[in-house]
A and B are shown apart, each in its own frame.
Chain A
Amino acid sequence: MSFTEIVFYAFSAIMVVAALGVISARNPVHSALSLVLTFFATAAIWMLLEAEFLAITLVLVYVGAVMVLFLFVVMMLDINITQMRAGFMRFLPFGILVALILAVQMILVVGPANFGLDVAGFASPVEHAADYSNTKELGRVLYTDYVFPFEIAAVILLVAIVAAISLTMRRRPQTKYQTPGKQVMVKKEDRLRIIKMQTEEKQ
């Protein structure tokens, strides 16, 4: 077994254990943190596939932004854990069935036979040289050959912006807040009034 294979199996084991932790942890915060570990292990496996840009993007976007948002929401919600776990045994057979169907579908679709690869003699691709840049290769095709899907990605992001704003934006007229511009513009005459009055006699 080569060193790369050992690293692959180590990270795969971490990923499977962490993924089991996501669905079995009692505390939702532990579950979210297990998901972070799963993403890290996945990033390491992508790195082994020489997809360095995707691996770093996974850490940057998912671990850095999405999971922070997940953790944030999980910590804020009052999730009733006992109520959530109530129907576990009842839904378990159905869940296993759905998972099996999903797994079979994925194996059928992304199996090596669909890409013209020989299953029996599954040859590993040739390793690239030390100066190979995956980011460069990605950039060369993404903005030329795949320019249409790239623009579609922009439209999808635009839809996400509009959807997030229209779903969660609410005006709160009752909230009190300061307007710093007005505060700065205030002059002495607006606030201070000097009143002339008689001094009182000394007694």
Chain B
Amino acid sequence: MLENYLPVLIFMCVGLITGLVMILLGGFILAPRKPNAEKNSPYECGFEAFEDARLKFDIRYYLVAILFIIFDLEIAFLFPWAIVLEDIGIFGITAMGIFLGILVIGFIYEWKKGALEWE
């Protein structure tokens, strides 16, 4: 079975080598590197950087992202089910029906609660 994944491994190696060669060749070997204090300092519209780039603010996208992960997991359960649907028959369809039914309750809850509203 693993021999089917040999092309994937070769592809990963080629990708890794290509990336490393590009970074090394472009950044360290071919390009001139003459850094000084001014070049290395962070640039912020011509004046001194006085603040950290990270600051607290309201992340409304967070809730949408969590809900996305939950439904992403639900989709992951659908793949093996779809492949063996002929073998497991009515019982399998009923099992997935209950599974999806429970999650549809959650979906209705989040919709009615307004979690999907962007305001």
Residue numbers of A with Cβ under 8 A of B are 4, 7, 47-48, 50, 52-53, 57, 60-61, 64-66, 68-69, 72-73, 75-79, 127-130, 132-136, 138-140, 142-144, 147, 150-151, 153-155, 157-158, 160-162, 164-165, 168-169, 171-172, 175, 177
Q: Do B62 and A162 touch (CB < 8 A)? A: no
Expressed in whole angstroms, the minimum distance between the Cβ of B3 and any Cβ of chain A is: 6
| Chain A contacts for B56, CB-based, 8 A | 76-78
Q: A139-B84, A154-B102, A157-B106 are in contact. Are A78 and B96 (CB under 8 A)?
A: no
> Which of B66, B74, B119 is in CB contact (< 8 Å) with A164?
B66
Q: Do A73 and B62 touch (CB < 8 A)? A: yes
In B86-102, which residues have CB < 8 Å from any A CB?
87-88, 91-92, 95-96, 98-100, 102
In the complex the two chains form, what is the Cα distance from A137 to B99 in whole Å? 20
**Chain B interface secondary structure, helix, strand, loop or mixed?**
helix
| Chain B contacts for A164, CB-based, 8 A | 63, 66-67, 70
In the complex the two chains form, what is the Cα distance from A33 to B65 in whole Å? 18
Q: Do A157 and B98 touch (CB < 8 A)? A: no
In the complex the two chains form, what is the Cα distance from A58 to B17 in whole Å? 24
Q: A136-B84, A139-B80, A150-B77 are in contact. Are A158 and B91 (CB under 8 A)?
A: no
In the complex the two chains form, what is the Cα distance from A144 to B87 in whole Å? 10
Q: Do A165 and B113 touch (CB < 8 A)? A: yes
In the complex the two chains form, what is the Cα distance from A66 to B68 in whole Å? 10
Q: Do B113 and A169 touch (CB < 8 A)? A: yes
Q: Do A78 and B54 touch (CB < 8 A)? A: yes
> Which of B52, B62, B69, B102 is in CB contact (< 8 Å) with A151?
B102
| Chain A contacts for B115, CB-based, 8 A | 165, 169
In the complex the two chains form, what is the Cα distance from A162 to B61 in whole Å? 17
> Which of B84, B96, B99 is in CB contact (< 8 Å) with A140?
B84
Q: Do B52 and A72 touch (CB < 8 A)? A: no
